[in-house]
Amino acid sequence: MVNFFGKSKDKKQMQEDQIQENQFDNIVLSTLPTCNRPFEVIGLVASRTAESDFGLRIFTEDIRRFAHNLNADAVIGITFQTGGLSDSFFTRDYDASAFFVNTDNEHRYSRVVSTMIGTAIRYID
């Protein structure tokens, strides 16, 4: 089979990718700080982006992948924070034939930084 970039993937690799994706989907995500089953805390998982246009799916996929790497069953207590950053800097354009600065340019930019963080847990059965 051929993917979007023209490289061929064999069927076995595609099946393994699908199995791994299904395992990610089995990890429960919750904003509640607890669940109805006994559990042990494994650690924190987080995802961050510095893009102003982003989809929530980016965060949930990252959180699930990190939790899967920790062998977690769920991620609870998920919080989502967004903040804006702005900064400015100056540049000067020099003319080698002149004894003075031709122009001072001020550049301003801003970006949105978003973070999703949660607690990875494993059920105790």
Return the exposure string of 36-60: e unless at least 16 CB atoms fall within 10 Å of the residue's CB, then b: eeebeebeebebebeeeeeeeeebb
Q: Give pLDDT tens digits for 25-44.
A: 788 899 998 888 999 999 99
pLDDT exceeds cutoff 90 at 17: no
Q: Give pLDDT tens digits for 35-77.
A: 889 999 999 999 888 765 567 778 888 899 899 999 999 999 9
Domains contained in the chain, CATH given:
29-84+112-123 (3.30.110.70)
DSSP per residue, 9-53? --HHHHHHHHHHHHHHHTSEE-SSS--SS-EEEEEEEEEEE--SS
pLDDT exceeds cutoff 80 at 95: no
pTM (whole model) above 0.75: no
